[in-house]
Chains A and B, each alone.
Chain A
Amino acid sequence: MTSILVADHLTKWYGPRLAVDDVSFEVQRGEVVGLLGPNGSGKSTILRLLTGYLRPSRGTARIAGFDVVAQGLQARNRIGYVPEDVPLYTHMRVTDFLAFMARLRGLSGAALVRAVDSVVQQVSLDTVRHLLISKLSRGYRQRVAIAQALISSPELLVLDEPTNGLDPRQIIELRELIRSLASDRAILVTSHVLAEIERVAHRAAILLNGRLLTVHTLARGDRGSELRVQIRAEAGSAVQACLKAVAGVLDARLEAQSDTLETWRVSVSEPVVGEQISQAVTRAGFGMREITTAASDLEDLFLRLTAQEQQR
């Protein structure tokens, strides 16, 4: 795989405050990398350094081989960027805004019309394409922002907290969109919601106080949730078989056992599968005590690393 983005010892000072501290990582073509960290950990600043909005105090970043400072125009030509607050020219109509952004990226004539039509289809903006942006809901505005970022088919797509303010359906649609876009480009996405990163990213870079703590490879980019299920059953009962027989259950592992109480960690495609598990367990004659959402590997790792860092 080719590295589309190479960040090398990126450092940013805001006056006396160190916002980004010696951060290095790479993003390959076809890969989604999530930048994960609490608010104020430096995620947005890193994106702004990579997209050329801010200049690094030290270190370099290269997009498809082009330095974001020395070869800024070429580098920016290869990036599609959706800033956190989804800034848009709200006095423009959707297609006028997309055409404006396309022209800034050097498209014209038939190529411009094709590009606008293509992104409108891609992010499902057909029904609102002639409306003023000021009339659109938050979800549609987010789509317009993503559409402008995709208009010139960039090699690197950078999304800053893309699920902020979206309803659950819009979040699921956006997740699907990010997965589909990742096939032929690199995607860098930030979030302070672990589950979001876990569901769309191949790797997660964990940040705290501007420092990159680790880059963690996620087991499966498309995996669902983990549930912790407590069941009353006699030792040696076929609880595992019962759990695995439920549609939507990906895996079930015994986590703890005391007398007749077993605690199982169950991987499921969607959290709603918990309801079917409850019914199946009761039908099989076992006692259902509790189902809770389990902390994922990433969550455990995040909590452990941030706790260690804060103890320093």
Chain B
Amino acid sequence: MNAFATLLVKETKALFSSPIAYVVIAVYLLLVGYTFTASLFITKMATLVHIFFQASVLLLLMIPIITMRQFSEERKTGTLELLLTAPVQEFTIVLAKFGASMAVVLVMVALTACYAVVLAIYGNPDLGPIYSGYLGLILLGSALTALGLMISALTANQIVAAVVSLGLFSLLWMLDSVAALLPDPFGNFLVGASLLAHFTPLATGAMYTSNFGFFFSVTLLGLFLTVRALARR
């Protein structure tokens, strides 16, 4: 087993052996389930569009709880010193933590597929928007996880990491809301940097490569800055 696999197994075990992962997943499913039931009875339409928007906002709230301890805890307990003085590259450590955190996000998102199954059994939903919506959730989750890890790598305090991540995610989510007030090119820039602006097409069934590219770029930037934060010592 190479260093990456060793670290990935250790990080995944650490996340799933703590109650945090299960509490986050349970609360997430409960809230998404509530929205699903409510929207199904109100609209009587076989669609998951409302669910995707609800699920994406919940990701903004839940992912800081998953990522906050990843580096902060290691820094606080001193085990980061063990990792960084072992013959392992910083990016291997970052990728392993990213992979483990994404495992929780994927489990969380995958379990909401039961609502899609319910729709498929009792209705005749258009599957295209459902696929693209799930893809959007995974891409959004990946970008948020990378940014959350970056914040966690900058502080030894988990609460600070969680609050700053939540603030950053919220800001990036609604960045386009003030775009109309600004002249071009500033307005366009804000729309271009907004998570919501890039998530909306995916949630509604429109897949553009620009949206894939955006989330992919944010993920890479987040991981790169996390590595830089670790190397700054």
Contacts and interface: CB of A to CB of B under 8 A. Distances in A.
Interface of A: 48, 51-55, 73-74, 76-77, 79, 81, 83, 85, 87-89, 91, 100-101, 103-106, 108, 148
| Most chain B Cβ neighbours within 10 Å, of A77, A85, A104, A148 | A104
Interface string B75-104: 001110111111111000000000000000
A151 to B, nearest CB: 10
Q: Is the interface of A mostly helix, strand, loop or mixed?
A: loop
B1 A108 contact: yes
Contacts of A105: 86-87
Nearest to A152: B87
Given A73-B87, A87-B77, A106-B87, 8 more contacts: A53-B84, A73-B88, A73-B89, A76-B87, A88-B82, A91-B17, A101-B86, A104-B7
Contacts of A103: 1, 3, 6
Contacts of A73: 87-89
B233 interface: yes
A299 B10 CA distance: 46
Interface size class of B (residues with CB under 8 A): 20 to 34
A36 B86 CA distance: 25
A73 B77 CA distance: 23
A53 B82 CA distance: 9
Given A91-B14, A104-B6, A53 B233 contact: yes
Given A83-B78, A91-B17, A53 B1 contact: no
B233 A87 contact: no
B3 A104 contact: yes
Given A87-B78, A91-B14, A108-B1, A81 B85 contact: yes
Given A54-B233, A55-B233, A104-B3, A87 B82 contact: yes
Nearest to B80: A87
Contacts of A76: 85-87
